[in-house]
Structure 1
């Protein structure tokens, strides 16, 4: 085969169509990136051996992988595994993926340690996620376990306590319609799901939970009792009273608050 001519693609000036001469006629052979064209020094009239063409096409595949990855990285930082998965979906060959990733790592466009560090700070500052959840997410991205442990441990005790504490203070407002016990249980469940340790959660509740005003808890209990009264309206007074006590206790209200609430409710009804 002999190169007959090159033409620039209309839609992409960085790509060239290569035509060869075969049996006195010109025919399209393949398309390559201009960087590959320069690297291999292709010229009109050059004789093309099969091994040489194979090397050129492998370089073209690697260049394609590299440019796809560069575009993918232009939106935000990525883990190596994300780039690999993306190129696999684009049906890039494994050798080309390896070559492109190695090139990107050499140029520091890809660095799992730097990615993990930025990921932790971004997640912690802009989402409700705690360290356990963030660690799990990084492991799912196939970041080296030692790197994960190192970057997650950079979160200080004070930072974790402050974030959990803000949640405690915000959720305590719900005591106007729920018992303090129930609200605290909900806080614990939510913070565990978000990836905070039991030690941090307990300390946050002890530190940031403000002592309840008895009247506030009484009003919350009364709201629940009014709902239960309607629910158990079909029972006689004694049975309704027992069922309401049991339900209110399950919701975490203290016995003395329940007694005061029911007395007040029944006084209003009589």
Structure 2
């Protein structure tokens, strides 16, 4: 039976060299040294040495994981991916994740809840986009569902209305119908439900400014009229009218502008 003949501290804090029968054998961390109660004169066989080496591998991986987690909260999937990128064996990663989970240093339920709260306070995203993000991070459906329970209808309305108001300013120089449509689509794209988006657009209480809308129609109409200048009069009117309608202007307003155009040309 081999004997530990010396335990020597390395220059690097928390690391020790183990000598067996007068020869250097392997290194261990301080945690492994304590957990296995290693001491000079202790008998050691190949099976124990293998356990010590495996435990030391986990200790090193654990420290690498702590460095990664010190920057911000991470999901289990993210930690696994990081450790794998360091070429750490799968079995060592599994053991490391188990240790981190026991200490609640990796907790997907906590991560999901924290992320949802952050989005409610500082973000502009709805439940659907948040769900997609958390799925990509590897969060399972149950902790994900539990976390989204925090995003109540009242909280969604608060965030959604703030987003709707910003979008209303962004699109205020669009045709009124297009403005409402883009606000609604912007809310849906950010992950809010279509029925909630429609309600919030209604709640904005937007009203078209007739003078502004007429000016926008005239400006865009003139550009289109010039664009189709090579067409015959009938086709030119049809193409211009069609394009203005797609931009959200009403047919009656478009016809009125075209009649004014005819009067000017006459």
Q: Could you state the TM-score of these two structures normalised by the residue count of structure 2? A: 0.88
Deviation track 1:74-109 (CA, whole Å, cap 9, x = no partner) reads 111122222222222222233332332222222222
Deviates more, 1:105-114 or 1:70-79: 105-114
1:128 equivalent to 2:104? Answer: no
Kindly report the root-mean-square deviation, in angstroms, between the aligned alpha carbons of the 2 structures. Answer: 2.4
Give SS of 2:19's match. strand
CA distance in structure 1 between the aligned counterparts of 2:35 and 2:163, rounded to whole angstroms? 58
Give SS of 2:230's match. coil
Of 164, 186, 190 in structure 2, the residue corresponding to residue 190 of structure 1 is 186
CA contact (8 A) 2:172 2:179 kept: no
Of 110, 117, 136 in structure 2, the residue corresponding to residue 114 of structure 1 is 110
Residue of structure 1 equivalent to 2:96: 100
Residue of structure 1 equivalent to 2:156: 160
1:78 equivalent to 2:79? Answer: no
CA distance in structure 2 between the aligned counterparts of 1:175 and 1:259, rounded to whole angstroms? 24
CA distance in structure 2 between the aligned counterparts of 1:233 and 1:110, rounded to whole angstroms? 66
The alpha-carbon deviation at position 254 of structure 1 amounts to: 0.5
CA contact (8 A) 2:224 2:240 kept: yes
CA contact (8 A) 1:176 1:219 kept: no
Deviates more, 1:239-248 or 1:100-109: 100-109
CA contact (8 A) 2:178 2:248 kept: yes
CA distance in structure 1 between the aligned counterparts of 2:264 and 2:47, rounded to whole angstroms? 96
Residue of structure 2 equivalent to 1:34: 30
CA contact (8 A) 1:16 1:32 kept: yes
Q: Kindly tell me: are residues 262 and 159 of structure 1, through their superposed partners in 2, closer, same or farther at Cα, counting changes over 3 Å?
A: farther
Of 231, 240, 245 in structure 2, the residue corresponding to residue 249 of structure 1 is 245
Residue of structure 2 equivalent to 1:3: 4
Residue of structure 2 equivalent to 1:19: 19
Q: How many residues align?
A: 265
CA contact (8 A) 1:176 1:220 kept: no
CA distance in structure 1 between the aligned counterparts of 2:68 and 2:62, rounded to whole angstroms? 10
Matches within 5 A, 1:113-262: 113-262=109-258
CA distance in structure 1 between the aligned counterparts of 2:14 and 2:171, rounded to whole angstroms? 65
Q: Could you state the TM-score of these two structures normalised by the residue count of structure 1? A: 0.87
CA distance in structure 2 between the aligned counterparts of 1:258 and 1:174, rounded to whole angstroms? 24
CA distance in structure 2 between the aligned counterparts of 1:160 and 1:207, rounded to whole angstroms? 14
The alpha-carbon deviation at position 266 of structure 1 amounts to: 5.6
Deviation track 1:149-181 (CA, whole Å, cap 9, x = no partner) reads 122122121221232222322222355542122
CA contact (8 A) 2:9 2:17 kept: yes
